[in-house]
Structure formats: structure tokens, C-alpha cells
Amino acid sequence: MLLSVENLVVKYGNIEALHGLSFHVEKGEIVTLIGANGAGKTTTLHSVMRLPPPEAPRVVSGDIRYQGESILKTQPHVLVDQLHMALVPEGRHIFGNLTVEENLQLATYARKNDSRIKHDFERVYSLFPRMAERRLQRSEQLSGGEQQMLAIGRALMTDCEFIMLDEPSMGLAPLLMYDVFRTLKRLNAEGLTILLIEQNANIALQFAHRGYVLDTGEIVAKGTSAELAADPEVKKAYLGG
């Protein structure tokens, strides 16, 4: 088991946002967590990667294990630099006043003289030819879809083995969205394990192997993507009938 979230209870102040959440991701899988706005998707990702306060949700009980070891007390930079986990956050958080290349370069800071950095630049540029074309442009000039590609590229530049994406489809036109998801599928075929958080259940269930449905801080359904897509309740609530 690569990632295992066990009976996780999380609070913001006195308000409980996750009420005993359990799910897992095996190496090599694409797993999706789908749910409506406010269900607790971002909270789940932030609990795993732990952003600094004040955004930080507080884990009250339960455990988060990565490769069998609890990571509840592991520093976020260790998760990235040593455990090779990466987060593509909601809203992307790229540096708009830096160029595409500078954004990618920044993500390699902890790798020092790693000789594969050059190869990884080429890999990102071949996965996302638009990034190669816009290499020297300031990132704020990119479209939403291009910014999403850059955010994924930046995660890849950290040499990640496991990537968590918070609503990558958000704000993207359908063609670009499919482009991004096809690239994720290809990365998965090359060995990257993916946890995909999505409000767009339709696209998530087309690309993931398995999924969980999150509703107000609880898992209310789980199964293979085919099982979930065929589930009458899931259809009604998340797939438009």
C-alpha cells in the first residue's frame, strides 16, 4: 500500500471537517476522490501534505501512512524531497511574474546537482509542447489550461513518484481538459501513482481505476470506476442522472 488514510478525523478550530475518513492508494493506481463543493476534498489533501498554518487542518485522530510509515509528524519538505510526494494545489499557485522555465527550475531546488534535472526538463517539454513554446514567457500570460500544465510540470520537476491533484479540470475548456487527463494517463503508464481529487465526477471516473465518493467529510461509496459510474445514487448525485 502506498498511501493509507485511516479513520482520519480533522478539525478547523472546533469544527470537524472530516469524520473518520479511510481510503488507500496502491502503487501504480489512479485513484479518485469525488465530491461536491465543501465535501472535504481539499482538506483531505492538505491533511496529507500539511500546508503551514493558518490554512492547516488539524488532525485530531486517525493516521496517514505512506509506504507503511506514519507521516503525521513528517515535515512537508521531507514528504517532497525524500518521499517523492507532490501536490498540485487547487488554483495552481504558480509564480506569475516568473517565466515558465523559472517556475520549473524553482521546483528542483532540493535536488542540487541531480544529473537527471536536464532530462526532466526535456520530459516536461515533450509532455507539454506548449510549455516548450512558452518557455520564456511570464507565467501570468498563460491560459488556465496552460497554467494547469505548468503546475503539473512543476510537480514532475520535484522527481515525484506520487502526485495528488486538486481539481485539475477546474476552469478548463473540454479539449484542454482531455489533453491534461490524457497526459496524466500517460504519466501513470510510465509509473506515476496518482490521487485525483475532482468535483467533475464524469471525467474523473473515465480516467481513474478506482474511486471514493466523499460527502460532508465521510466516504459514502467506493468501488472501481465502472462500478461507481453504474451506481444509481452516484449517477443521480454526481453524473447528471
Ligand X SMILES: Nc1ncnc2c1ncn2[C@@H]1O[C@H](COP(=O)(O)OP(=O)(O)O)[C@@H](O)[C@H]1O
Considering only 1, 12, 93, 129, the residue that binds ligand X (CB under 6 A) is 12
Task: Decide: 164 and 197 in contact? Cβ < 8 Å.
Answer: yes
Which entry of Mg ion, ligand X, none binds 38, CB below 5 to 8 A by partner kind? ligand X
Backbone angle region of 29, left / alpha / beta, with phi > 0 → left and psi within -120 to 50 → alpha: beta
Q: Which residues lie below 8 Å from residue 154, measured CB to CB, with a gap of 6+?
A: 88, 94, 103, 104, 106, 107
State the Cα torsion 83-195-88-55 to the nearest 10°. Answer: -90
Instruction: Considering only residues 23 through 62, tell me which ones interact with Mg ion, judged by CB under 5 A.
Output: 41-42
Which does residue 109 bind out of ligand X, Mg ion, none, counting CB within 5 to 8 angstroms by kind?
none
Q: Do 20 and 44 form a contact (C-beta atoms < 8 A)? A: no
41 forms part of the interface with ligand X (CB under 6 A): yes
Given 3, 5, 17, 31, the residue binding ligand X (CB under 6 A):
17
What's the min distance (Å) between Cβ of 37 and ligand X? 5
Cα–Cα distance, 164 to 146 (Å, whole number)? 18
Shortest separation between residue 42's beta carbon and ligand X, angstroms = 3
Site string for ligand X, 100-129 (x = CB under 6 A): ------------------------------
Query: Least separation, in Å, of the C-beta of 137 and ligand X?
Result: 30
Please enumerate in sequence order all residues whose Cβ is within 8 A of that of 112, keeping only pairs 6 or more positions apart, or say none.
Answer: none
The backbone region for 195, taken as left when phi is positive above 0, alpha when psi lies in -120 to 50, beta otherwise, is beta
55 binds, among ligand X, Mg ion, none (CB under 5 to 8 A by kind): ligand X
The CB-of-43 to ligand X minimum distance in angstroms stands at 3
Residue 191: CB minimum distance to Mg ion, A: 27
Q: Which residues bind ligand X (CB under 6 A)?
A: 12, 17, 35, 37-43, 55
Q: Which residues bind Mg ion (CB under 5 A)?
A: 41-42
